[in-house]
Amino acid sequence: MENSRIKQIKTFLNDSPEDAFLNYALAIEYLGLDESQKAKEIFEKLIENNPEYSATYYHFGKMILKEGNKEQAQQIFEQGIKVADKNKELHAAAELRSALNELLYDED
């Protein structure tokens, strides 16, 4: 059963199906419900259709890392850093670098 926020976001998406923020918000809602497969599909679509939307890379990378795929998470973080740097999004770039450094220097 979908929660009311998901229903509302989907209603908005009916009018603007390619809206990056709305798709991102939907993916985040699915993450919160531990429906990572649905979130993953949306994140992948976002990167394909809206590669300049830097917020995607942090949460997608964290989700992939949680699934245990460090190599893919590293690639996602690095790709996001390039996008954020290109768009001069300093805060997003810093968050992505922090996540990447945490992954690279984790003592697992």
Query: Can you give the pLDDT at residue 1?
Result: 52
Alpha carbon distance 38, 28 (integer Å):
10
Series of mean pLDDT values for 10-residue runs along the chain (108 residues): 86 95 97 94 96 96 95 98 97 97 82
Q: Which of 99, 5, 11 is nearest to 56 (CA)?
A: 99
Q: Mapping DSSP to helix (H, G, I), strand (E, B) and coil, where does residue 45 land? A: helix
Query: Can you give the pLDDT at residue 106?
Result: 79
Return the CATH number of the domain spanning residue range 4-104.
1.25.40.10
What is the token pair recorded at 31? Answer: 């993450």
All residues at 6 or more sequence positions from 46 whose CB lies less than 8 Å from its CB, including other chains: 20, 23, 24, 27, 53, 56, 60
Query: Can you give the pLDDT at residue 3?
Result: 86
Q: Which of 36, 48, 39 is nearest to 9 (CA)?
A: 39
Asked whether 50 and 20 are in contact (CB, 8 A), the reply is yes
All residues at 6 or more sequence positions from 102 whose CB lies less than 8 Å from its CB, including other chains: none
